[in-house]
Structure formats: structure tokens, C-alpha cells
Chains A and B, each alone.
Chain A
Amino acid sequence: MPTHLENENTLVADARAGNGDAFAALLSQYDTRLFRLALRITGNQQDAADALQEALLKAFRGLVGFRGDSRFYTWIVRIVLNEGLIKLRERRRDLMVSLNEPIQTDDDSFMPREIEDWGDNPEQRYSKTEFDAILNQNLDQLEPTLRIVFLLRDVEGFSIEETARMLGLSIPAVKTRLLRARLKLRERLTKYFKQGARL
């Protein structure tokens, strides 16, 4: 029986030859994850839908150039990421969204202030809808430069090196942003999940 990767390689080869059904079958494995990524980058459902649609059209056109030296998912994530960033920049020009803006590393503003025990399973104090809203709202409020690194590394599971390549950042820059993102999210979530926050 062919493995998942062998199946994927066959579908990629067929899609490169112009087989639309093969391309659709490839996407069906990932479209929900890709939409979640686009949604979390743009923070807006219509922008996410537009970014995903544009990315998939570009992916289909560019499939000939996909050399197979990375996984198909890694390749297509990079395209969705770029389209998501374009949408984000269009909507939030005021923020001058730039992934390359420097992050101060010598201050102590990242030091935790909210230090509280969350207890066991703090998520069970909320309904699933409330819990998802807490996670999404706090992620959306994170600066894009931090949010995108966190999404790629911690949610999508790419390595530090892959994340750095995708974003055109140095490895130390990715590490600094990741630490900031993790600590900021922790700080914000503590308000909801500390013991006694909701009984």
C-alpha cells in the first residue's frame, strides 16, 4: 500500500501535468489547515478567503516550478503566507507591517508580570466557543511580526530554520520573536486561565 507521501508525490506529478482533479485531491488534504493559517494571519474571514483563493491559483500556475525538494505542504504554506501578508498590509497600512523590523533584545519588557497558577485543565472552565474565542482574540492582538513566527513554528510545527527561510529572517531573529510571542500570549492568557479567574 502506498504511503501518504508516495500518494502525495503521485498527486503532485499528476497536478503538474495539468490534472485539475489531482490538484483538488491534494488541496482537500490541507485546505482547512491553510484556511486557518490565512485566517490567523489576516484576522479577517473575507481577507483569509481571498488570500487562500489567490494562493491556490498561484500554486496551480506555479506547480511546474515546484521541484519537490521540500514537502508540498511547506511549499504551499509559503504561498499562503505571502498572500496573507499582502492582505494584512492592505488592511493595516497604518501598522506598516514589516517582518524585518528590529526587536529590542536588551530591555527587560519581556519579563513576566502575571505569574499565577493555572491549575489543571483551565480550558474546561470555558465552553468550546468561549475557549476558541479567547485563543483567537489574544492571538489576533499580538503584533504581526510575533504572531506569524508563532504560527509557523508552534502551530504549524515548522523548524526554526524553515521558519527563518520562509520569512527571510535570520535564525536569531526568529528565536527572539518566538520567545516574545510565547511570553506575551502566556501573559495575556493568564488573565483568563489563572485559578479563580472563572469559577
Chain B
Amino acid sequence: MTCEGLIRKLSEILDGELDPALAEELTRHLQHCEDCSLVVNTTRKTIEMYCNSEPAPLPDEVRRQIDRALAEKLERSSS
């Protein structure tokens, strides 16, 4: 397994979708390749950071704008 081969399989590594034989081969590569280990770990961290970032609340102004539009729509559809 080369470094390029490992990077091409990075998503499968991160998503736990490797078949067992390949997983063993990649684990052996990662045990002696510090660069690939860093890439795997920092890519995993990248995904975690975006997943864990809390959405900012819907701004009040936007909520009011949407509420008004929906209320108008409802009024029109019921009349």
C-alpha cells in the first residue's frame, strides 16, 4: 500500500467501510507512516469540527419575514 493508495481510500477509512483484508493492510501502513496518520487524524477532526459547530439561531428578522409570507399564503388558500 502506497501513501497515494491510502489517500484514495481515506473516505472509506473514515466512514468505516473497508473490507477486512484492506483494513489490515491500511492499518499496517498507518503504523509506520506518520504523514498518512496525520492526514487521517486531521481529516477526521475537520469533519468533526463542522458537524459539531452549532448553527446560529435563525435571525429574528428572517423568522418574521418567513412567518409573514406563510401567514399570507395560508390566508389566501383559506379564502
Contacts and interface: CB of A to CB of B under 8 A. Distances in A.
A75 interface: no
A31 B46 contact: no
Interface in A51-81: 52-53, 56-57, 60-61
A60 B58 contact: no
Dominant secondary structure of chain B at its interface with chain A = helix
Given A115-B38, A183-B7, A189 B49 contact: yes
Contacts of B42: 116, 118, 186, 189-190, 193
A166 B39 CA distance: 29
Nearest to B8: A179
A62 to B, nearest CB: 12
Contacts of B39: 112, 115, 186
A135 interface: yes
Interface in B18-32: none
A189 B11 contact: no
Contacts of B70: 20, 23-24, 56-57, 60
B53 A132 contact: yes
Given A115-B39, A117-B38, A185-B46, A53 B7 contact: no
For chain B, the bracket of interface size reads 35 or more
Interface in A181-197: 182-183, 185-186, 189-190, 193
Contact of B78 (A18, A33, A53, A175): A18
Contact of B58 (A23, A31, A139, A179): A31
B49 to A, nearest CB: 6
A45 interface: yes
Contacts of A131: 53
Contacts of A60: 70, 73-74
Interface of A: 18, 20, 23-24, 31-33, 35-36, 45, 48-49, 52-53, 56-57, 60-61, 108, 110-112, 115-118, 122-123, 131-132, 135, 139, 150, 154-155, 157, 175, 178-179, 182-183, 185-186, 189-190, 193
Interface of B: 3-4, 7-8, 10-11, 14, 35, 38-39, 41-43, 45-47, 49-51, 53, 55-59, 61-63, 65-67, 69-71, 73-74, 77-78
Q: Nearest 8 pairs between A and B by C-beta?
A: A36-B55, A20-B74, A49-B62, A186-B43, A186-B46, A35-B58, A53-B66, A115-B35
Given A18-B77, A56-B70, A135-B53, 5 more contacts: A18-B78, A150-B50, A154-B51, A186-B39, A186-B42
